[in-house]
Amino acid sequence: MNSTTNLAHVVAWLGFIVAFILGAISARTQFCTLGAVSDIVNMNDFTRMRMWVLAMAIAILGAQGLYAADLIDLSKAFYTRPSITWLSYVVGGLMFGVGMTLASGCGSRTLVRIGGGNLKSIVVFAFLAIAAYMTMKGLFGVWRINTLDAVAIDVSQHGIATQELGALLGPLLNTTKKTAQIVLACLIAGPMLIFVLMSRDFRVSLDAWLGGLGYGLAVVSGWYITAHIGFGENAETLEMMFFGTNSRAAESLTFVAPYGYSLELLMLWSDKSLVVTFGIATTLGMILGSLAHSLMTKRFRWEGFASIEDTGNHIIGAVLMGAGGVTAMGCTIGQGVSGLSTLAAGAFFALAAMIFGCAATLKYQYWKLMQEA
């Protein structure tokens, strides 16, 4: 086994460990991006939203801190490519927001629910994985590339290498990209932390801190694992490259495309060109971490569909999440925390669209319920 293979295995194993811990944390704290929006819409409760915002702030400060220390290069992440496919971010984000509402949770929450014995989430996993793969390389992918992705702003035509806010605003601020990134990270994360700390209930809640810090630090760890530990020289080509990631770029936590790659590996296990990557390992780690927590706390419960309508909603939601998540280049964790931590412009488009799609669907469901009452 050569050093290249070893490095890819190290990346995968470290990703699994991080996700295993995060799965247990998520199961304990009930961290849920759908819950964050629904709690506000239905009960005006911002606790879980503050958990999510804390994760964003920690991820931004941590990722940009690693970049400032020259430990990672976020310009090599796929979120920061110079082509800003804004229509894909918006349409994909809306699809994902609607989908996660119908499917009772986003990609990460689906994995946690599987670990807790939720059979509905296994169905969601399967349909999300199929839709994600079809949108990456199949029928949906042709439509995505030829229509949505074709509407884009290519900042490289203006001499700008990436869509990071520091690269976009640096020339306007008459400063370097790195300085601009650090300043912007503080200006964006600072108000987020103030918003989090404004709540006394949040400040005294161990689970709230654990959930927010857990997801934020997990994303930072993901960047360090793939962009620092997993960045090395290819023994065959003598070129520097990223090992252990499906994208062959720097990655952190995201839970849409890895669903598709996980299903592909299971279906084509005998294909020696397919291996367990960082994304696949984190997918498995989330499930097993949640399972371990649910068994230890005796919270493991089998749960199935309540009705045909419930089944249909979850299947439609899963397909929307898979197609929408790939189109938007991430989920509420992939774009909402990992992508946002790079300060890529597209992450802000995608995140806003996801929250809007989720809130609008919740409002519609409430309206429908009142009409039937």
Share of the chain above pLDDT 70, in %: 99
CB atoms within 10 A of CB 217: 18
Q: What does the pLDDT read at residue 187?
A: 97
127 close to 322: Cβ distance less than 8 angstroms? yes
> Mind listing the pLDDT tens digit for each residue in 228-275?
999 998 878 878 999 999 999 999 999 999 999 999 999 999 999 999
**Per-residue pLDDT tens over the stretch 338-371:** 999 999 999 999 999 999 999 999 999 999 988 8
d(CA 318, CA 6): 35
* Measured distance CA(47)–CA(30) in Å, rounded: 11
State pLDDT tens for residues 46-72: 999 999 999 999 999 999 999 999 999
Instruction: Give mean pLDDT, residues 298-326.
Output: 97
pTM of the full structure: 0.95
Question: What confidence tens digit (pLDDT) does each residue in 178-237 have?
Answer: 999 999 999 999 999 999 999 999 999 999 999 999 999 999 999 999 999 999 988 788
Structural domain containing residue 136? 3-372
Mean pLDDT of 144-167: 96
Whether the per-residue pLDDT at 95 is higher than 70: the answer is: yes
Of 75-89, 119-133, 142-156, 234-248, where does mean pLDDT reach its minimum? Answer: 234-248
Domain count, the chain: 1
